[in-house]
Structure 1
Amino acid sequence: MTAESRINSLETSYGRLAWRADGPEGGAPLVLFQRFRGTMDDWDPTFIHALSAKHRVIRFDSAGIGRSEGTVPDSVGGIAAVAAEVVQKLGFNQVDILGWSLGGIIGQQFALDFPNLVRCLIVAGSSPGPIADGPQQDPRVLQVMTKATDNDERDFLFLFYPETETAVAEGRASLKRIESQPNKGPGVSAAGFMGQIKAISTWQGVLGRAKELKLPILVANGAHDVMLPAYRSYVLSQQAPNAKLVLYPDAGHAFLFQVIDDFVAEIDRFLA
């Protein structure tokens, strides 16, 4: 199926949650964990199409997000628990996970809390937690990403792409593809936004337990990420015992929508 796959509903203890499936059945499915203030409709459809050529791809709106009922848990562990119930209710014994940004944080916590449910983990544009040394987040990021109103194109280009002609052009093309999808669902509500903020702000990170993350991990980022600097991806790759690090030049936080062919090929090799 394509990125215009049917919207399904799943009854859970958190309420009825919305989910979609793309790609061929068989093997461990690849479950996507979305970014802060993102829904399952905020994945670039070209990325979904490429990813689902070889993999069964599952994306969903967590509790209190987008089309789903319920309330956003106020901890990263709570959000990971929602994802675990989704995996189990869908009948999967084991899955691969691709988490982007906040989704990468949730993916790391998921792997610690539910190790029997995850085979391989992909951490994209994310962080293992607070890191005092090395490059820090651009000071403008917090103000832009927490605006009370929805972010506009200018905000997304600043947050997600380097200020080069090529990167900006690719960023605009990706944003256009996302916004032009038919039947796009609602965005993250004010209550959902606040729940995610609380979860992020209270998360202690995984560095103290990173040695426990013995599963295969692919850590990837754009070399010029202003939100979660690539140095944090490097730190995670050094602490987790079976991690591979890939950085993309002239790319930022949304590198996965900028270098789609290269990153999907990397994912294919990793999961094979």
Structure 2
Amino acid sequence: MNGTDVLRVGRQQLHVDIRAGEGTPLLLCNGIGANLELMRPFVERLEAMQGRRIPTIAFDVPGTGGSPTPRLPRWMTGHARLLRELVTKLGFPQVDVLGISWGGALAQEFAHLNPKLCRRVVLCATSMGMVMVPAHPRVLLALASPTRYFRPSRMRELGAAIYGGGFGEDKGVADAFARASRAPDPLGYYWQMLAGWGWTSAYYLPLLRQPVLLVAGDDDPIIPLVNAKMMARLLRKPTVHIVHGGGHLALLTHADELVPAIHTFLS
């Protein structure tokens, strides 16, 4: 399979986008409420890299983009099992996983539950869940609602405050992000929030056998940099890449720096 399609995985329909390449594919786990199209600039830059063309698997979490909202919520473990079923259905014997923000929690859970299926892990702007240094209350309040996805102007207005790293100052990046955004089902958004309630990876990070690349910006209002340093102390095989001047969406705003680093780590 190559391209965009809707697949039935167990009882759930998943909107997926598969890009062909060579070797182990990269499974992409997006942030809360974010549709897979928001990952496309990163995917396209990754495809343009010299050397191995890394295959990618992007998907919409149930309740976002083209994946319908389930009647009942899933915990983080349930989302990780759903991804295992997706990878198995696609016929891949092994994958790498990249997660950003909420998707970083899912990537950790996937790696933990599937040590043989998951080869390498890239964690961007994420934390250990409940065991973390939190954002400022005003940032958490802004994240509690999916309003920014429903109003593009609100996305630009909130960008500098909640994403940092020059997101709000770069009108081109902010506008492209707003245009690519699809408003999630509000219930699906809150199902995702519920999945993270009480979740933490702190107890199993020392047990992860996979090499892990931690990407963190020093201007991230949502996930302060200290969280990546805390995680690195627990992991067996960590590599930390600090993006100076980078914010929560450094994967987009600092792609020239990060895409080659991620490509090298995975290759």
TM-score, normalization by structure 1: 0.87
Shift of the 194–136 alpha-carbon distance from structure 1 to 2, 3 Å rule, reads closer
Q: Which residue of 1 aligns with 2:46?
A: 51
Contact 1:131/1:232 (8 A) holds in 2: no
2:43 aligned counterpart, secondary structure:
helix
Alpha-carbon separation, structure 2, partners of 1:178 and 1:147: 18
Q: Distance in 2 between matches of 1:244 and 1:14?
A: 37
1:62 to 2:54 alignment: no
Hey, what's the Cα distance between the residues in 1 that align with 2:216 and 2:198? 24
For the 8 Å contact 2:159–2:167, the answer to whether it is kept is: no
CA distance in 1 between counterparts of 2:167 and 2:175 reads 14
Q: Which residue of 2 aligns with 1:244?
A: 239
Match of 2:159 among 156, 164, 178: 156
Identity %: 25
Q: 1:96 is paired with a residue of what secondary structure?
A: strand
Q: CA RMSD in A?
A: 1.9
> Which aligned pairs between 1:67-86 and structure 2 lie closer than 5 A?
67-71=66-70, 73-86=73-86
Conserved? CA contact 1:29–1:55, under 8 Å: yes
Task: List gaps (5 residues or longer) in structure 2.
Answer: none
Specify the alignment match of 1:141 in structure 2. 139
Say whether 1:27 aligns with 2:20.
no
**Paired residues of 2:94 and 2:119 also in contact (CA < 8 A):** yes
TM-aligned CA distance change 1:79 to 1:140, over 3 Å: same
- Matched AA of 2:90: L
Residue 252 of structure 2: aligned partner: 257
Question: Structure 1 residue 167: deviation in Å?
Answer: 5.0
Return closer, same or farther for 1:187/1:21 CA change in 2, 3 Å cut-off.
same
Which contiguous aligned blocks of 4+ residues in structure 1 show a shift greater than 4 angstroms?
none
Structure 1 gaps of 5+ residues are none
What does residue range 1-272 of structure 1 map to in structure 2 within 5 Å? 6-22=3-19, 24-43=20-39, 45-53=40-48, 54-71=53-70, 73-131=73-131, 136-147=134-145, 149-151=147-149, 152=154, 153-162=156-165, 168-170=168-170, 172-181=171-180, 186-203=182-199, 205-272=200-267
Conserved 8 A contact 1:76-1:106 = yes
The number of residue pairs the alignment matches comes to 256
Q: Determine the C-alpha separation between the residues in 2 that align with 1:199 and 1:16.
A: 18
**The residue matched to 1:150 in structure 2 has which SS?**
helix
Counterpart-to-counterpart distance in 1, 2:240 and 2:73:
30
CA contact (8 A) 1:16 1:70 kept: no
Deviates more, 1:242-251 or 1:53-62: 53-62
Query: 1:221-260 deviations in whole A, cap 9, x for unaligned?
Result: 1111111111111111111110111111111111111110
TM-score by length of 2: 0.89
**Distance apart, 1:148 and its partner CA:** 5.4
